[in-house]
Structure 1
Amino acid sequence: MANSDNTSGYYIIRQNDFVYNPRKSSDAPYGPISSYKYAEDGIVSPLYLCFHAKGEINPLYYEWYFRSSAWHRYIYMSGDSGARHDRVSIKDDTFFAMPINLPSEQEQSKIASFLQSLDERIAAQEKLVASLKKYKRGLLHDVLSEKIKITTETWTEHRIGEFLHSKSIKQLPTTDAPLMAFTATGGVCDKGERYDRGFLVKDASSKLYKRTDLNDFIYSSNNLDVGSIGLNLYGSAVISDVYEIFSIKDADPWFISEAIKQKPIMSRILKYRQGCLYGQYRIYAEDFLGVFVKIPSYEAQKKIGAVFSKIDGKITQEQILLDCLEKARTFFLQQLFI
């Protein structure tokens, strides 16, 4: 759709017309082709290629065809090598000469209907997973702020340092040990697999690292509010010495980690910010460990943790189903348009 008042030369598009945006992206390596869904007419830039399905072609089948990768090879083989590498360069006549093997109209309708139903099922599953995660966040906040009581006992305040104990620096072993580096939003390891727990790579340098083990508490003392904080859920590894590493004793690791990350506690911690070079700040370990956090007994911590473990199990179960559905969609998009 146009964002400028100057719309001279723009194309008018109508419902079920198709628009080819030649700009490449990681999700659309040969540019996306989208169907215009609105009832009222629209306009698009002349930089886009506009067309519509006619004759025996089912528009919904066409839409799913262009969501597949079946047409990518033709664009790759027939496109021009232009000066810009961020856009596909292909002549209109060449694009419209693209050969497409069309099944019967009845078969087109069945394929389109099946894929549409699968897409709607995936959307519903995505909504369920998002709702479960939102429910967990809300319940966790209410439990840790004592708005909802899972236990009847009185919670008492303790310094963070009563439970967190600093770990020493060790040199990176000469073996092929995993190097862990937490990020604010999780990370991607060297094989492209996503880890919520951080960035896992292999490293053979002689730089000093800190040893970390399962359920250690890790945080960066620099720019803590935009940095990483949480538990090592991976296991034995080494981590850059820019991080503070603590073992947890006399408390449940999950509970203490979640309690510290709550906004009221983080606000107390951030009051100890001290400025340093390049616009960053530092929160020294002694200040961090001196902050008070309100918690119940160890037994109650475990009880609360068990409740959220069940919720996490449900989220994991539904996420696995979502992943399977998405893989099924990818499979059918590859197989139905050969």
Structure 2
Amino acid sequence: MENNNDNKVLNVPHLRFPEFTGEWKKSTIGSLSTKVGSGVTPRGGETVYKSEGHSFVRSQNVGWGHLQLDDIAFIDKETHLRQKNTELQLDDVLLNITGASIGRSALVNKQIAGGNVNQHVCIIRTKDNLVPAFLCNFLLSNHGQKQIDSFQAGGNRQGLNFEQIRSIKITIPSTKEQTKIATLLHLIDERIATQNKIIEDLKKLKSAIIEKEYTHKTKSNSHIGDFIEQTSKRNKNRAIQNVLSVSNRQGFIQQSEQFENRSVASDDTSSYKIVKKNNFAFNPARINVGSIARLTTFDRGIVSPMYICFRTKDTLFPEYLDYYFETKQFFTEIQKRLEGSVRQCLSFEGLCNIPLCIPTIEVQQQVGKQLSTLVQEIKLEIDFLELLQRQKKFLLHQMFI
């Protein structure tokens, strides 16, 4: 690829394949399309959806450059024939035109070709001089999204009408260059899809190992309380300034991250509880699977006095208990022990009363190490996914005008 940093005269993008020359031509979606329109929701709404038949595409099925078909709806032939003018053709461009998902775009594939769309999804069918995949990626680029945003007066994303869509300005090269750009971006999309599958499979493997290890056929006479002890040391001299919170998804995080770079800590943190590495903490009023966290990213920190903090005794390896808190069994047990009619909480006593059967400390360490290695692998794969997504975003910004 070649950079075009001197694009003040030539109407070309910053980044371009070297074999192509000449300026791109300015146009509008309306002048390059044979159809711009959407469908309707059948009378009766979800009650008329079928388990099979013609695909019925809704806004939740249109992602950022890909289709999300896990919950695709279907309509029968009679309903389809009443909406024949919205029948989808292969490589039609779909654009969400209402609600929070305005601007998401994807191409029609073989799975939904012959189906229909509702009123929240617009079909754009292009002429021969506009490659559908090029248009789809243009709509997702900064240049397309800025124009879509500009139609939403005052930032109120109510909806796009067909005239606005037709008026969107687009600058295009030859169909050969359009195809090459679209092919490159498609390859990246495929790699992103593969990476998502890798992460999904690793997470399933982790869950399977956890459930196998912690699901015991025999009942245990021991409980969590036999292996943990509460900690309540306070930050009396306010020597520790690292204020932490527990996030359901991320575990311990700095409070400023949770509250968007602002602290909600008291000016006087002397009553805050000290948490050391491998200690646990949870907010009893926000208890769920994932809401009890073990401190691993910091050597120590402080949490709000409302938190319950504890550590494991020598007979229980901290990582082994940590992964138990991700099991279905634990979720079932805490549901039995929630207290309060309006805002349900889990007391420390309730946590301690949950049955727990543990193997030898050597087996605990082996299981903990295996799962920790898997967690680290998942993190590396997620980091690589984010790298691919940034690469796609960069190309969308640099290869369109």
Offset at 1:243? 1.8
Provide, for residues 182-227 of structure 1, a one-character-per-residue CA deviation record: whole Å limited to 9, x for no partner. Answer: 23344887776x8xxx999633533632221221112333463478
Q: 1:60 aligns with which of 113, 125, 133?
A: 133
- Aligned sequence identity (%): 22
Offset at 1:142? 0.6
Rate the CA distance shift 1:70–1:176 in 2: closer, same or farther, 3 A: farther
Offset at 1:44? 4.0
CA distance in 1: counterparts of 2:183 and 2:385, whole angstroms = 20
Offset at 1:253? 0.7
Rate the CA distance shift 1:91–1:296 in 2: closer, same or farther, 3 A: closer
- My pick for the range that moved more, 215-224 or 8-17, is 8-17
CA distance in 2: counterparts of 1:285 and 1:204, whole angstroms = 24
Matched, 1:42 2:116: yes
Structure 2 residue ranges without an equivalent (≥5): 1-38, 45-78
Provide, for residues 247-280 of structure 1, a one-character-per-residue CA deviation record: whole Å limited to 9, x for no partner. Answer: 2230311102223553335544554444x3x523
* SS of equivalent residue, structure 2 residue 310: strand
- My pick for the range that moved more, 314-323 or 328-337, is 314-323
Equivalent residues in 2 for 1:1-338, closer than 5 Å? 2-5=40-43, 12-15=86-89, 16-23=91-98, 25=100, 28=102, 31-37=103-109, 38-40=112-114, 42-45=116-119, 50-75=123-148, 79=151, 81=153, 85-88=156-159, 92=163, 95-145=165-215, 158-168=222-232, 170-171=234-235, 177-186=241-250, 202=263, 203-206=265-268, 208-222=271-285, 224-225=287-288, 228-235=291-298, 236-250=300-314, 251-274=316-339, 276=340, 279-338=342-401
RMSD: 3.7
Q: TM-score, normalised by structure 2?
A: 0.67
Structure 1 residue ranges without an equivalent (≥5): 148-154
- 8 Å Cα contact 1:18-1:34 kept in structure 2: yes
Offset at 1:120? 1.0
CA distance in 1: counterparts of 2:140 and 2:208, whole angstroms = 36
CA distance in 1: counterparts of 2:189 and 2:123, whole angstroms = 25
- 8 Å Cα contact 2:292-2:325 kept in structure 1: no
CA distance in 2: counterparts of 1:73 and 1:190, whole angstroms = 33
* SS of equivalent residue, structure 1 residue 39: coil
CA distance in 1: counterparts of 2:274 and 2:152, whole angstroms = 53
Q: TM-score, normalised by structure 1?
A: 0.78
- Corresponding letter in the other structure for 1:177: Q
- 8 Å Cα contact 1:18-1:52 kept in structure 2: yes
Provide, for residues 269-310 of structure 1, a one-character-per-residue CA deviation record: whole Å limited to 9, x for no partner. Answer: 554444x3x523444323432444111222221122222222
- Corresponding letter in the other structure for 2:234: K
Provide, for residues 53-78 of structure 1, a one-character-per-residue CA deviation record: whole Å limited to 9, x for no partner. Answer: 1131111211121122222334455x
Rate the CA distance shift 1:226–1:11 in 2: closer, same or farther, 3 A: farther
- 8 Å Cα contact 2:152-2:158 kept in structure 1: no
Offset at 1:14? 3.5
Rate the CA distance shift 1:121–1:63 in 2: closer, same or farther, 3 A: same
